[in-house]
Structure 1
Amino acid sequence: MRSAVRGAGAAALALGLGVAVAACSSGAGVRSGAAEDFGDSRPAEVRAVADPGGLAGVPARVDGAVVTVGDADAPHTVRVYEDARCPYCKKFEEGGARALVGPVADGDVKVEYTIASFLDKNLGGSGSVNAANALRASVDAGKFPEFHAAVFANQPDDESVDAYTDAFLLKVADTVDGLRSDAFDRAVNDGSYETWVDDAMRAFRDDGVRGTPTVLIDGKKAGGGEDAMYGQTSFAAVLKDAGIG
């Protein structure tokens, strides 16, 4: 068995908000365990998302190690650092991130996602890498916002569960109209974008990020009270203070 650093649920500095909030840390505490300890504990059913984050149909593209959603010429940029296995990222996506829907749809904001995968090392398994690889493949299929929402909607309740196997991710993809194809399935099953996944993790470290979710608005730390990023109304106020909305 290998040693792994357990950090999910630890207090970390949320750089995007400039305040300490609950987050998944990229390094705190030690746990011993193997990935196979959790391999059969994934959710029994796959949940379809009726409203995939409100961004269905918004174009996404790959810019180096980043996936960008929205108008390339948008005057404001919100950068989001996430790990698919992080429960606080799910909380952000189902809360504060919804405040971005209107500004993105209006062309006022583009969102740059850096998709990290440190929780595989922290918790054991390969789910974060698998999910990041599949999310990259969904860009080619023109379905990143929809699949991104579906991946977080199907995150297990226990972050130690290594749910995101290739087979499970393909079941999640079944809930997104038009996503499954020979090319997409091959990319998921073959890990076609693992080099890109490594590049994204390197960018996460190089940017000095220590936990997820981390959100930067126009490259700067934003104000806001504790946990402001986890509510749609509270994060809308953070965006407004930064000149958005």
Structure 2
Amino acid sequence: MSNRNNQQNKQAARERLRAERERQAKKDKARRQLFVGGAIVAVLAAAAGIGVAVSNATNGSKNNKVSSEDWDAAAKKTTFSRPAHTTGDKGTTVVIGDAGAKNTLQVFEDMRCPVCSQFEQMTGDTVIKDIKSGKYKAQYVIGTFLDRNPQIKGSGSKNALSALGAALNVSTDAFLEYKKALFAKDNHPEETDDAFSDDARLIDIAQQVGALKGNAEFEKNVKDGTFDKWALALSDAFDKEVGPKKDIQGTPGFKLNGKVLADANGRPPMVAQQFTAAVDEGLKK
């Protein structure tokens, strides 16, 4: 299927959802009133704010553009394309840094995850510095489980991951800087807000990244969903490694040379100093 037809499919899906939301508007308004200030539900997370917590405020998002199901259906009709700078089956191995680096840090994230956003703001620059210094190379394993959560269902995680693929296709530096921009305080939406399902929002944030600003090829790949099917493949790879009975049970999560990086209570190191201390200790083993 051509990129043009794929874009038309996505637009048609948006129109169907828009019509459905209008029909349900009155019912949704009443339902939302019942849930104002709703309870917090933990998603693959431990207590103390570590992991992902989602607000049961609405059934879906006020900015939801395409449902998870419709996004998947449109993506599966596209021709598979893997971004540059990927290896492995279906390009699901995303390793950034010196290929000869002795140590490997695995980073597990979901682009809608609010705690991942906090980690990026507090410690993301430390990770980038360590990658560039050769302290370790980083393998990014990014999932989309939040899109499937019934309290906040949507397609923002997958859509943002596809856009990250478009950035990775430009360069590894563009990938790192764009991920940083998406997780930035002024850009990252609340977990109940599926704003990343909007291509225009993703392109607007990309203007903060030098290599992506005004980059016609990047913008076309985002709009056409060039890497949508790749995003689904990477999400599947994430699901094989993250879950309630796995070593990594929530996001953000980290493994250093195959061993979980966490404190005695299983919580990932969030603050830069704490993260560096955990890495240094892990490298001694």
TM-score (norm 2): 0.66
The equivalent residue for 1:51 is none
Q: Percent identity?
A: 32
- The structure-2 alpha-carbon separation of the partners of 1:194 and 1:11, relative to structure 1 and needing over 3 Å to count, comes to closer
State the distance in 2 between where 1:216 and 1:181 align.
Answer: 34
Contact 2:102 2:136 in 1 (8 A): yes
What is the aligned counterpart of 1:73 among 92, 100, 119? Answer: 100
State the distance in 1 between where 2:231 and 2:158 align.
Answer: 7
Structure (1 or 2) with the larger CA radius of gyration = 2
Contact 1:95 1:229 in 2 (8 A): no
Which letter maps to 1:10?
A
In structure 2, the gaps of 5 or more residues are 1-23, 25-39, 66-83, 244-248
Q: Please state if 1:23 is matched with 2:63.
A: no
What is the aligned counterpart of 2:269 among 210, 229, 242? Answer: 229
Contact 1:83 1:119 in 2 (8 A): yes
The equivalent residue for 1:212 is 251
Query: More relative contact order in 1 or in 2 (CA 8 Å, sep 6+)?
Result: 1
Q: Please state if 1:127 is matched with 2:156.
A: yes
- The structure-2 alpha-carbon separation of the partners of 1:96 and 1:220, relative to structure 1 and needing over 3 Å to count, comes to same
Q: Map 1:41-190 onto structure 2 (within 5 A).
A: 61-63=85-87, 64-122=91-149, 123-142=152-171, 143-153=174-184, 154-156=187-189, 158-164=190-196, 165-179=198-212, 180-190=214-224
TM-superposition CA deviations, 1:17-71 (whole Å, max 9, x none): xx9861127xx99887244x3349xxxxxxxxxxxxxxxxxxx922321322211
- The structure-2 alpha-carbon separation of the partners of 1:242 and 1:86, relative to structure 1 and needing over 3 Å to count, comes to same
Which letter maps to 2:210?
D
The equivalent residue for 1:33 is 59
TM-superposition CA deviations, 1:199-245 (whole Å, max 9, x none): 1111011124432111111111234255551100011110011117x
TM-superposition CA deviations, 1:81-102 (whole Å, max 9, x none): 1111100101111223443233
Contact 2:58 2:192 in 1 (8 A): no
Which letter maps to 1:166?
D
Contact 1:96 1:229 in 2 (8 A): no
State the distance in 2 between where 1:231 and 1:97 align.
Answer: 10
State the distance in 1 between where 2:159 and 2:41 align.
Answer: 21
State the distance in 2 between where 1:76 and 1:184 align.
Answer: 31
Structure having the larger proportion of residues in strand: 1
State the distance in 1 between where 2:94 and 2:141 align.
Answer: 7
Structure having the larger proportion of residues in helix: 2
The equivalent residue for 1:46 is none
Which letter maps to 1:23?
G
Contact 1:137 1:193 in 2 (8 A): yes
- The structure-2 alpha-carbon separation of the partners of 1:99 and 1:29, relative to structure 1 and needing over 3 Å to count, comes to closer
Query: Alignment partner of 1:82: what SS?
Result: strand
What is the aligned counterpart of 2:225 among 178, 191, 198? Answer: 191
TM-score (norm 1): 0.76
State the distance in 2 between where 1:29 and 1:99 align.
Answer: 30
The equivalent residue for 2:3 is none
- The structure-2 alpha-carbon separation of the partners of 1:225 and 1:99, relative to structure 1 and needing over 3 Å to count, comes to farther
- The structure-2 alpha-carbon separation of the partners of 1:235 and 1:190, relative to structure 1 and needing over 3 Å to count, comes to same
